[in-house]
């Protein structure tokens, strides 16, 4: 018997495929991540992330201009500090003259409200030990102390709010930080500043290149007592649910590609914007495979980014975004 159903009829030509495509990428889907350093006139390529550099605040402004030219409206800022600026209390996290605070003020001055600014809120680039929270001695040994970290994180969020951020983005994974930060913002009159919660953040090997880029590798142990166990998906719904109930305005799943199942499940429990972080290791893998001639970079990038959107993301944080838009890959 001849086939009754013929799905191939809908794939005959590019024109037809385009007309029935379910998923599209637009420049406004992207949040471009940037590493900002506290010196002037510096562009410093990052070995582990080919094509990506750290920028001083003055040169960052040109990159934001470059993004705007392609229709990208959103940037996520990460501060990178020399080891000499770090201590056990993460003092530099609340420096109003730190690289992120300066970048926020300058970017706001130049672009006004034509840009949506996000800032990573975490202590790992400010502590001398590289953990995302403060340490405490206990009878069970040294632990990452949840509640004293909350205070520092909230103070860091306030520093960014005062510098003009749109969304502070806590990535530390301490319990209760979204509610704590929300309250701190509100009490200081920053009711209009939002929170993009890194709600579902796994303890992942795919952050490797980022830690070189930001100089934030922990000096002992790993992040498994605060970041999530990759074996768990129900726990992701719990984490997302908590951040939603604590007042997050958007929630994130991170990493993206190895966790598309989790992204799709979180999609089902929230009406808020859902963000996926296509992290440094995901980027580096495609770059390495392309450099080895193993695959076509343009198609691989398009497919990877499309699959993140198809799985349910509204916004994608990706190191590929600018290059992909400039070269017409998406």
> By the 8 A CB rule, do 118 and 72 touch?
no
Residues 121 and 169: beta-carbon distance below 8 Å = yes
Pairing of strands 30-37, 74-79: parallel
Name the token pair of 1.
């018997």
| Contact assessment for residue 256 and residue 313, using Cβ atoms and an 8 Å cutoff | yes
State which H helix or E strand residue 27 sits in.
none
User: Shortest Cβ distance from residue 110 to ligand PBG (Å)?
Assistant: 25
Q: Are 200 and 266 in contact (CB under 8 A)?
A: yes
Q: Give the three-class secondary structure for 163.
A: coil
Q: Which of 279, 286, 304, 313 binds ligand PBG (CB under 6 A)?
A: 279
Q: How far is the CB of 138 from ligand PBG (least distance, A)?
A: 23
Compose the 161-190 pattern: x for residues touching ligand PBG by CB under 6 A, - for all others.
----------x-------------------
* Residue 230 C-beta: closest distance to ligand PBG, Å: 13
Maximum distance among all Cα pairs of the chain, rounded to whole angstroms: 76
Residue 245: which residues within 8 A CB-CB, separation 6 or more?
A: none
86, 201, 287, 309: the catalytic one is 201
Question: Can you read off the two tokens belonging to residue 216?
Answer: 């934030």
Q: Which is nearer to ligand PBG, 48 or 111 (CB)?
A: 48
- Using rule CB under 6 A, residue 212 touches ligand PBG: no
Report which DSSP code applies to 2.
Answer: -
Q: In the range 219-278, which residues lie near ligand PBG by CB under 6 A?
A: 223
**Residue whose CB is nearest to ligand PBG in the complex, by number:** 210
Using rule CB under 6 A, residue 122 touches ligand PBG: yes
Phi, psi for 175 (deg, rounded to 5): -70, 135
Structural tokens at position 296: 């076509």
Q: Of 280-299, which residues contact ligand PBG (CB under 6 A)?
A: 280
Contact between 121 and ligand PBG (CB under 6 A)? Answer: no
Q: State the minimum distance, in angstroms, from the CB of residue 71 to ligand PBG.
A: 23
Binding mask 126-165 for ligand PBG (x = CB under 6 A): ------x---------------------------------
Can you spell out the DSSP letters for 215-266? T---SSS-STTTSBPTT-SHHHHHHHHHHHHTT-SEEEEESSGGGHHHHHHH
Q: Please confirm, yes or no, whether 201 is among the known catalytic residues.
A: yes
Q: Is 41 a catalytic residue?
A: no
12 vs 196: CA distance, rounded Å: 42
For the bound state, the minimum distance from the C-beta of residue 216 to ligand PBG, rounded and expressed in Å, comes to 6
- Least Å distance, CB 87 to ligand PBG, is 18
281 vs 312, which CB is nearer to ligand PBG?
281
Q: Which stretch binds ligand PBG (CB under 6 A): 19-27, 155-163, 204-212, 256-264?
A: 204-212
- Distance, in Å, from the CA atom of 219 to the CA atom of 144, rounded to the nearest integer, reads 13
124 vs 311, which CB is nearer to ligand PBG?
124
Other C-beta atoms lying within 10 Å of the C-beta of residue 114 = 9
Alpha-carbon distance of 16 to 73, in angstroms, equals 30
Catalytic residues, by residue number, are 201, 254
Binding residues for ligand PBG, per CB under 6 A? 120, 122, 124, 132, 171, 207, 210-211, 216, 223, 279-280
């Amino acid at each position: 018997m001849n086939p009754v159903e013929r799905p191939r009829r809908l794939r005959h030509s590019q024109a037809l495929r385009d007309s029935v495509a379910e998923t599209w990428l637009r420049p406004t889907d992207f949040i471009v991540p940037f590493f900002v350093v506290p010196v002037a006139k510096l562009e410093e390529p990052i070995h582990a992330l080919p094509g990506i550099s750290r920028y001083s605040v003055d040169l960052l402004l040109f990159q934001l201009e470059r993004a705007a030219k392609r229709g990208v409206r959103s940037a996520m800022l990460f501060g990178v500090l020399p080891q000499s600026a770090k201590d056990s209390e993460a003092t530099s996290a609340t420096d109003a003259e730190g690289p992120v605070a300066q970048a926020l003020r300058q970017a706001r001055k130049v672009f006004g409200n034509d840009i949506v600014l996000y800032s990573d809120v975490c202590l790992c680039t400010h502590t001398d030990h590289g953990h995302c929270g403060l340490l405490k001695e206990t009878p069970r040994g040294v632990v990452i102390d949840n509640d004293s970290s909350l205070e520092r994180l909230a103070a860091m969020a306030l520093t960014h709010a005062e510098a003009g951020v749109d969304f502070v983005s806590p990535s530390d994974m301490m319990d209760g930080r979204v509610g704590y930060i929300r309250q701190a913002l509100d009490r200081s009159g920053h009711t209009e500043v939002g929170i993009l919660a890194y709600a579902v953040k796994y303890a992942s090997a795919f952050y490797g290149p980022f830690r070189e880029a930001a100089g934030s590798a922990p000096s002992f142990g790993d992040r498994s007592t605060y970041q999530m166990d990759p074996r768990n998906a129900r726990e992701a719904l719990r984490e997302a649910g908590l951040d939603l109930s604590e007042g997050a305005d958007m929630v994130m799943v991170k990493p993206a590609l190895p966790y598309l199942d989790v992204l799709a499940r979180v999609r089902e429990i929230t009406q808020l914007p859902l963000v996926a972080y296509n992290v440094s290791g995901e980027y580096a893998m495609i770059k390495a495979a392309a450099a080895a001639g193993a695959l076509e970079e343009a198609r691989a990038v398009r497919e990877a980014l499309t699959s993140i959107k198809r799985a349910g993301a509204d916004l994608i944080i990706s190191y590929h975004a600018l290059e992909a838009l400039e070269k017409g890959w998406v």
